[in-house]
Structure formats: structure tokens, C-alpha cells
């Protein structure tokens, strides 16, 4: 981690501020965060509602510093965890300098987009509507783009179009965001890419592999606890517990003869080694915590605290 005391004086005309990535689940917020920051700080998967914690990624350029706030997808919650996630996402809207309202450019504006639009329209936030997945759009996407342009026009919002996956249009997006930031200081040292501690990211890397390798009800019923991180001369030793809600889910997590937990552990360990640039020894355990997503105490214990705002 960088020394927070070593923060330089910004050059003349320097701009800085917080940019909230807001939108429905699975529109590419975490993928965009990773693309803009230039490395992986947020987990991604095809499963909706992957992001649970408000995560900050930092991009510092010659004349601007962007602190991107990746938020959980705004959706209709079905349990206490879902309620906390949506409230935290909405709290972020009023805590940032600019909101990037991400939409999925593969289909026309729908009820879910309108739901997020209405929330943003009631706020005082400066908003840019960002049409993502430009690289996957049909040959003539005019009808899709127009549906979002009409929505943005209702509030006088600007529209950007880009691909979080390939980076197409992202330079132009950053220019638009920079124009809406006020002159300001370096909030973080220029070489920092996230404010999250390594333990948090380790837990997220484990959860990402669970999302990628398990199906059905398991992914959303999982909470990761990093129990111990111990460094030696040769490796970093990590012990972590995968908490699930039912014994049947524990069986799925373990797999036949321990095959699933081994697959998840191997893949997560490889990602951790990229994070810390060194060898990792990872031990995973599975524990049943009945109905943890409905328990305020366990939600808090696992790091899902409701934020003010």
C-alpha cells in the first residue's frame, strides 16, 4: 500500500472528484471500473448483482484524479441483504460529484432503467447517461440509442457511448467526466488504484470464482470471511471461510470428493498471486450459517453495513 503522507501538490487547473457508477444489475459497472483504472479491482461475472460492497477505484491522470465508486445494481430487493445493497447504492448518488448512469446498450430502455432514472431525476446529482456494450450492439443500433437519448433529454443529461470490455469510447467518456469535476486536490497518492485493503479484495476474488463455477441458488447465498493472513519469506498464507445458508449448498460448494472447493481454491489463489505479486497458499473452509442474508447481525459481521445517506 502507498504512503498516504506522500501526496503531491496538484498542478494548476487540476480537477478531482468522486464519480458514482449507478445502474441496474449486470450492466457492466465493475467491468468499466476495471477498464478505467487499468487493472482488476472489482470482481465481474455473468451473474446479476455481483457487486455487494461500495468499491472505490482510483485513476490519476496529468490533469485529473477520478475516484470511481462502483455500487450494487439497483433492483427490487427480496431479502435484508438486497435492501442494504439498494440503500447503499442510492446513498452513493448524493455522496459523489458526478453520476455515470450506466445502461445496457443491447436493448431499448425498459422499466428497470426508468426506475433508476426516476431515482436520479429526484436527486441533485450531475448525471451522464452511459450506453455500454457498444461492441456488442446490432448492426443498426439507432433505435436502441434513441430510446436512451430521449430519456436523457428529459433531464438535459449528456449521453456517452462506449464499451467497458474493449475500452472503445472510454477516453471520450473520461473527457466528459473531467469537464464536470471541480478544481481540487489529489485525494489519494497518484499510484494508488483502490482504497480497499488486500483482505477485502482477497475475499472478493474467492467469491468471484464461486460465481463463475457454481450454479442455481449458491452464488447469492455466499459470504466470505478472511480468517487469517500470514506472510512468510516464501509465501502469503491465507485462511478463509465460505459461509452458506443451507447444508445442501455446502455439499455443492465442496463437490464430489472435494473437487469443487479445489477448483475454486486453485483459481482464486492464481488471482491472489497477481494481486500481491507473490506466492499464495490458500486454505478454504465451508460453514453453514442459516438465513444469514436476513440477519442484521451476520450481515454486519460479513461486512454488509447499511451506509448513511
Query: Which pLDDT score is estimated for 132?
Result: 97
- If you ran DSSP here, which 8-state letter would residue 306 be given? P
**In the structure, what pLDDT confidence band is assigned to residue 151 with cuts at 50, 70 and 90?**
very high
Q: Tens digits of per-residue pLDDT, 256-303?
A: 999 999 999 999 998 888 777 789 999 999 998 888 777 777 777 766
61 or 204: whose pLDDT is higher? 61
238, 265 in Cβ contact below 8 A? no
CATH number of the structural domain spanning residue 227: 3.30.300.20
59, 37 in Cβ contact below 8 A? yes
Domain count, the chain: 2
In a domain, 106, yes or no: yes
Q: Do residues 145 and 217 both lie within one domain?
A: no
Alpha helices in 234-284 (DSSP H): 247-254, 259-276
Q: Do residues 98 and 48 both lie within one domain?
A: yes
| pTM metric for this prediction | 0.68
Query: Which pLDDT score is estimated for 205?
Result: 87
d(CA 57, CA 34): 8
Query: Which pLDDT score is estimated for 17?
Result: 92
Q: Do residues 24 and 165 both lie within one domain?
A: yes
Strand order in the sheet with 223-231: 223-231, 236-244, 280-288
In a domain, 188, yes or no: no
276 or 171: whose pLDDT is higher? 171
Q: How many other β-carbons are positioned within 10 Å of the β-carbon of residue 144?
A: 20
Q: What is the mean pLDDT of the chain?
A: 85
Q: Do residues 158 and 25 both lie within one domain?
A: yes
Q: Tens digits of per-residue pLDDT, 205-214?
A: 898 888 888 8
In this model, does residue 88 exceed pLDDT 70? no
Q: Do residues 39 and 133 both lie within one domain?
A: yes
Query: Which pLDDT score is estimated for 43?
Result: 63
At 91, list the grid cell.
Answer: 446513498
Q: Tens digits of per-residue pLDDT, 16-51?
A: 999 999 988 889 988 999 899 987 777 675 555 454
The secondary structure of 56-97 as a DSSP string is EEEEE-SSEEEEEEE-PPP----SHHHHHHHHHHHHHHTTSS
Domain end position, chosen among 179, 212, 227: 179
Q: Tens digits of per-residue pLDDT, 48-62?
A: 545 455 678 899 999
Q: Which domain holds residue 137?
A: 15-179
Percentage, residues of the chain above pLDDT 90: 43
214 or 220: whose pLDDT is higher? 214
**In the structure, what pLDDT confidence band is assigned to residue 224 with cuts at 50, 70 and 90?**
confident
19, 67 in Cβ contact below 8 A? yes
In a domain, 190, yes or no: no
Query: Which pLDDT score is estimated for 2?
Result: 44
**In the structure, what pLDDT confidence band is assigned to residue 179 with cuts at 50, 70 and 90?**
very high
Q: Do residues 66 and 148 both lie within one domain?
A: yes
Query: Which pLDDT score is estimated for 78?
Result: 57
In a domain, 187, yes or no: no
In a domain, 184, yes or no: no
Query: Which pLDDT score is estimated for 35?
Result: 94
Q: Do residues 170 and 108 both lie within one domain?
A: yes
Query: Which pLDDT score is estimated for 218?
Result: 65
Q: Do residues 140 and 211 both lie within one domain?
A: no
Amino acid at each position: 500500500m502507498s504512503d498516504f503522507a506522500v501526496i503531491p501538490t496538484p498542478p494548476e487547473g487540476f480537477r478531482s472528484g468522486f464519480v458514482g457508477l449507478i445502474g441496474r444489475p449486470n450492466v457492466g459497472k465493475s467491468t468499466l471500473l476495471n477498464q478505467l483504472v487499468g487493472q482488476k479491482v472489482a470482481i465481474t461475472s455473468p451473474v446479476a448483482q455481483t457487486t455487494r460492497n461500495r468499491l472505490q477505484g482510483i485513476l490519476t491522470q496529468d490533469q485529473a484524479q477520478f475516484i470511481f465508486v462502483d455500487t450494487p445494481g439497483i433492483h427490487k430487493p427480496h431479502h435484508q441483504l438486497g435492501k442494504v445493497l439498494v440503500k447503499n447504492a442510492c446513498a452513493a448518488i448524493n455522496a459523489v460529484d458526478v453520476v455515470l448512469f450506466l445502461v445496457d446498450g443491447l436493448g431499448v430502455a425498459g422499466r428497470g432503467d426508468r426506475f433508476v432514472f426516476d431515482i436520479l431525476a429526484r436527486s441533485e446529482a450531475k448525471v451522464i447517461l452511459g450506453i455500454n456494450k457498444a461492441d456488442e450492439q446490432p448492426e443498426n443500433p439507432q433505435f436502441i440509442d434513441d430510446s436512451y437519448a430521449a430519456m436523457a433529454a428529459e433531464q438535459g443529461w449528456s449521453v456517452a457511448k462506449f464499451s467497458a470490455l474493449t475500452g472503445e469510447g472510454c477516453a471520450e467518456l473520461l473527457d466528459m467526466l473531467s469537464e464536470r469535476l471541480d478544481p481540487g486536490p489529489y485525494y489519494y497518492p497518484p499510484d494508488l488504484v483502490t482504497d480497499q485493503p488486500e483482505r477485502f479484495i482477497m475475499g472478493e476474488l474467492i467469491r468471484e470464482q464461486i460465481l463463475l463455477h457454481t450454479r442455481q441458488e449458491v452464488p447469492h447465498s455466499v459470504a466470505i470471511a478472511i480468517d487469517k493472513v500470514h506472510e512468510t519469506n516464501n509465501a502469503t498464507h491465507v485462511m478463509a471461510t465460505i459461509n452458506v445458508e443451507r447444508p445442501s449448498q455446502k455439499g455443492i460448494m465442496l463437490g464430489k470428493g472435494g473437487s469443487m472447493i479445489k477448483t475454486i481454491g486453485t483459481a482464486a489463489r492464481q488471482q491472489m498471486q497477481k494481486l500481491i505479486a507473490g506466492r499464495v497458499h490458500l486454505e478454504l473452509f465451508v460453514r453453514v450459517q442459516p438465513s444469514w442474508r436476513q440477519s442484521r447481525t451476520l450481515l454486519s459481521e460479513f461486512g454488509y453495513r447499511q451506509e448513511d445517506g
